[in-house]
Amino acid sequence: MNNRLPGPFVLELSDARCSDVALSGGKGASLARLIRHGFTVPPGFVITSAAFAAAVDHDELRTKIQVGDIVAARELVAAARAPRDLVAACYEPLAGAPVAVRSSACAEDSVEASYAGQQETYLNVHGLHVVLEKVVECWLSFFSEHAFFYRTAKGSLDDVSIAVVVQRMVDARRSGVMFTVDPVQGRRDRIVIEAGFGLGDRVVSGEVTPDWYTLDRSGTVRKARVVGKRVMGDDELAELVRLGLRVADLNGNCPQDIEWAWDDDQVYLLQSRPVTAF
């Protein structure tokens, strides 16, 4: 039996209903909140947890998870299909450019647990057929052994809900991550920015060694470690700090871990989540 959750199966990120974590997952809800408050976010849409619930037998899936039968759980998920026509309608305006297909766990990130990196993200995806395939692969990644053991330790095995975000890729010239605190030194009066040329996944994955900047809350650089050609100018760093502090304020002054990308013209925010265990 398919346990259909109330709510739409596909939502534009600009839709106010996207702010519901239970529907859009932590990543989707965070992006929707940023858009609603005027931040620049790449356009896209969410295949909601309701769509996933309609595609699988939730009761059977939850039973398989509870008894630790990950193989059987993955077989159920692998047979599921995203709502093609609804996805096609939202994908059409984005079809002329590559998109990112990103898992969005419905167990919201918190200062105790972050679901970042627990599920898959696929970059430079072209074509509706491939997008639909990657949606199922994102669903499957929520039921990998690694994700299962993480939820056992940090979350709840009752949670079998997952959403997927599809967004236009930014033609990033520079990108990276920003912490609105110094998570290593434990200082709330400092902001840390890591930046590299090209796509930010190379920074996050450790594929490249990024520039590293520590700034005060006024945007003044206090320390810098530059690898080769400097990635960011002082004015650009100060703008990132202003954005980061606005995002932290939006989240009740909770320290934020923010992914960003800068094309030829402007900076885009790609994700914001609480800094874990600060």
Residue 174: its pLDDT value, please?
Answer: 94
Q: Which residue has the tokens 């890591």?
A: 194
pLDDT of residue 278: 60
Query: Both tokens of residue 203?
Result: 């920074």
Burial category of 137 from C-beta neighbours within 10 Å (exposed 0-12, middle 13-18, buried 19 and up): middle
Note down pLDDT in tens along the chain; length 278 residues.
444 556 799 999 999 999 999 999 999 999 999 999 999 999 999 999 999 999 998 888 888 888 888 899 999 999 999 999 999 999 999 998 999 999 998 865 544 444 555 578 999 999 999 999 999 999 999 888 877 776 666 556 667 789 999 999 999 999 999 999 999 888 999 999 999 998 866 666 667 789 999 999 999 999 999 988 999 999 999 999 999 999 999 999 999 999 999 998 899 999 999 997 66
CA dist 275 and 110 (Å) reads 8
Residues constituting the chain? 278
Report residue 271: phi and psi, to 5°: -175, 150
Q: What is the pLDDT of residue 81?
A: 95
pLDDT score for 1: 40
Contact (CB, 8 A) for 62 and 103: no
DSSP conformational letter for 19: G
For the chain, the C-alpha Rg in angstroms (whole number) is 19
pLDDT the model gives residue 276: 74
Residue 207, Cβ neighbours under 10 Å: how many? Answer: 12
DSSP 8-state class, residue 92: G
Tokens linked to 57: 């037998």
Output the pLDDT for position 84.
97
Encode burial over 35-74: b for 16+ CB neighbours within 10 A, e otherwise. bbeebebbebbbbbbbbbbbbbbbeebbebbeeeebeebb
Give the strand order in the sheet containing 221-225: 221-225, 211-216, 190-197, 174-179, 256-262, 267-274
What is the predicted pLDDT for the residue at 148?
73
